Amino acid sequence: MQLEAATIDIGTSRPLVLLHSNDAGELGAHPLDRVRIDHDEGTTTGIVKRTDELVNPGTVGVTEPLHHIHGVVGVTLAGTPQSVRYVRKKLDDIELEAHELEAIVTDIHENRLSDIELSAYVSAVYTNGLSLEETKHLTEAMSGVGQQLRWESPVVADKHSIGGVAGNCVTPILVAIVAEAGLTMPKTSSRAVTSPAGTADVMEVFCDVEFAMADIESIVDETNGCLVWGGGVDLSPVDDEIIRAEYPLSVDPTGQLIASVLSKKRSAGSSHVVIDIPYGEGAKVESLVAARELADDFKRVGVYLEMDIACAITHGTDPVGRGVGPVLEARDVLAVLEGAEDAPESLRVKSVRLADMLLEHCGVDASAADILNSGRALERFRRIITAQNGDPSVESSDLEPGTESATVRASRAGIATRVDNRQLCDLARRAGAPLDVCAGLVIHQTVGNEIALEEPLYTIYAETTTKLEEAKTLADRLEPIRVRSKADALVERR
């Protein structure tokens, strides 16, 4: 069928082909079918969207990614991509081969799958699982479509946390220690997706975090380390698309999680990686058994990819550090590096433990505590900040939270029986984090603390009174720090 092509912006990054219902009917093209467009510059395949309003009969609309198509073009019905058959195969619970996973990853990368098909992939992987073999092949395929970083040093240290814990900003401390010990640690981190602050958001309080490849190389050259935003280098571009489908379903299947993490590490050129797996009620991994299984799977896939993986199973029920939100977490980080008296102990201890693990794992004989306590880690951190265009003279006391604040106090005496990470994150976000960098929380209690009536539980900080009020309203409905009287402290009575 010959049609006149026109670009139509409907706010999508997908290569959609808009056909008037009459033309679609004549072509036998259903919504989500593919059509082949033969045009001046070659042949392109796109997904059909039927419409009665956006194009007239005789015209074919193409979305922005296909804007190079214009003039009179030939439109014919195209088959379903092979990758959709492989998705169907996975729905049938049949193990996929390497080339089949590769086809799925490539088609996701090229935006060739519709949301229906992408979701079927995620659903199939969630409900039927991925074998270890499949996870290996998927990781390779996902890394294969990304940008690749390569380093001169044979040992490149890296760290990842499975997430779900409020605060927990160990990475800057870890990088400072490990880089000071002489190892190469070019760390890419994410910005907040559902949390009140990603490591990249925290680092942005100190310095720039968006750099191109060449800049990153010279920063690492100069300082052994870096703390940059991973979005600037496209290490595993398919991951974002898959997460987009996982997010509304609240699923995060193990095999996919491993492939997601390790594909990025592989593309980043990391050779030795410590994975932090927080577990516990309310964390992503709920039991110690599940945490151990996940750790073993990470290590197995690592062997296949010739990466040395070590896993740290940590407590995921309590926040790590006191601050939640970019500036508040940055203050904690700097206080630990400064060795300040009021530095949060939980953050210091976890950073040192993970750093020791990573040093040992990389075969370096050094003590993280020594490097930290001697002030050398702080020095190294200041060098990294300088290399990333920040002010190295910053001190933790310079980092002021939002001017609007409210402290929530215990409405009864008792014991803190539970701290809910998710509720704390929701509160910090409601107060404005991460976009309002000075917004967030300071948490005054941890699980097990004995608490008096009216004792402070946590303080909310915001940049505006409106947001403070919104957060306070939410706080009235939540109970992020549960205080129970000692008599109550049995878990359940039925």
Question: Site residues (CB under 8 A) for its own copies?
Answer: 9-11, 18, 25-26, 28, 30-33, 49, 51, 53-54, 80, 84, 87-88, 91-93, 114-120, 122-124, 126-128, 193-194, 244-245, 247-251, 429-430, 435
Taking the least distance from each CB to its own copies, the nearer of 98 and 251 is 251
Angle CA(261)–CA(345)–CA(373) in degrees, nearest 5?
Answer: 90
Closest to its own copies by CB, 57 or 182: 57
Please say which residue, 137 or 429, places its beta carbon nearer to its own copies.
429
315 DSSP β-pair partners: 279
Identity of the residue, 49 or 348, whose beta carbon is nearer to its own copies in the bound complex: 49
Q: Where are the beta strands (DSSP E) in 52-120?
A: 59-62, 71-78
Strand, coil or helix: 412: coil
Phi and psi angles of residue 413, each rounded to the nearest 5 degrees, phi first: -85, 155
Is the Cβ of residue 33 or residue 180 nearer to its own copies in the bound state?
A: 33
Q: Which residues contact 353 (CB under 8 A, 6 or more apart)?
A: 312, 368
Distance from C-alpha of 301 to C-alpha of 312, rounded to nearest angstrom: 16
* Least gap, CB of 262 to its own copies (angstroms): 24
Task: Kindly state the smallest distance separating residue 199's Cβ from its own copies, in Å.
Answer: 18
Q: Is 252 an active-site residue?
A: yes
3-state secondary structure 339-352: CCCCCCHHHHHHHH
β partners of residue 19: 50, 60
What is the closest distance, in whole angstroms, from the C-beta atom of residue 124 to its own copies in the complex?
6
> What is the Cβ-side half-sphere exposure of residue 375, based on CA atoms within 13 angstroms?
1
Question: CA distances (Å), 369 to each of 98, 296, 366, 372, in order?
Answer: 44, 28, 9, 5
Residue 333's H or E segment, with its range, is helix 326-338
Percent helix / strand / coil, the chain, rounded to 5:
40, 20, 35
Residues 6+ apart with CB under 8 A from 473: none
Q: Which of 33, 107, 252, 318 is catalytic?
A: 252
Report the nearest approach of its own copies to the CB of residue 397 (Å).
29
CB of 178 to its own copies, least distance (A): 32
The nearer residue to its own copies, 13 or 374, going by C-beta atoms, is 13
Active site residues: 252
